[in-house]
Amino acid sequence: MFALPTTLVAFDLETTGLSPANDEIIEIGAVKFCFQKVGGRMDIVFKGEYQSLVKPDRHIPEEASRVNHITDDMVENAPVAREVLPAFLRFCGQSSMLVAHNGHSFDAPFLKEACRKAGISAPRLPVLDSLKIARNIMRESGSFKLSDIAQRLAASGEIKLKLEHGDLHRALYDCQVLAQVMGRMILKAIPEKDLSLDRFLKAAEKLAPVVMLEG
């Protein structure tokens, strides 16, 4: 087995809206995982979870609450972004690769802008977009929504998480689903020899472009 396995962090943000410039993060969830031999075969190994609500500087619009089920009352006593973001980045670590569904268009820009507003330097970490990867390696699929991909993999016994529809769009649960979906896609598409830290990024770039979180 390789000495330095790649560590990935599946992360998800719930926000007050869709604009990184005008809206704010109200919840961060993350699941850290890697790949190790388990019972003689390579499998997903979970290393930790992170979750925090975030108190924004503005009212949470009703349309956002309908999607993520987070209200003003729920975040009233939550820490603010300048307190949550450093804790989240410490959880990620300096050598992890981040994963988010539609991450290049939504989560990475939101995270980078939130760090800028809070006066925090965003670390230089690769961000993989599981939506783009799924579109490239599961081309026969009719839908690339995370929940739909997860349902297909669960039906075939490839992921173990019991899917609870009512919990979708809360950050930590979405990350638990994403970690299993992304982990299974990677194990299908990337050879075992390329799962090590020194080879993984080049192998991942063959599946879909990788962007860097930095600033």
Position 76 in a domain: yes
Position 2 in a domain: no
Position 3 in a domain: no
What's the pLDDT band for 214 if we cut at 50, 70, 90?
A: confident
Between residues 163 and 202, which one has the greater pLDDT? 202
Give the domain range for residue 166: 8-213
What's the pLDDT band for 1 if we cut at 50, 70, 90?
A: very low
Reported as a single tens digit per residue, the pLDDT across 64-98 is 999 999 999 999 999 999 999 999 999 999 999 99
What's the pLDDT band for 2 if we cut at 50, 70, 90?
A: very low
Ranking 86-95, 97-106, 146-155, 180-189 by mean pLDDT, the lowest is 146-155
Ranking 10-14, 165-169, 172-176, 185-189 by mean pLDDT, the lowest is 165-169
CA distance 49 to 32: 6
> Is 169 an annotated catalytic residue?
yes
Distances from the Cα of 30 to the Cα of 75, 88, 124, 206, angstroms: 18, 8, 18, 25
R_g over Cα of the chain: 17
Position 1 in a domain: no
* Catalytic one of 59, 101, 104, 169: 169
pLDDT of 169 reads 62
pLDDT of 165 reads 58
Residue with tokens 């009719």: 142
Q: CATH code at 132?
A: 3.30.420.10
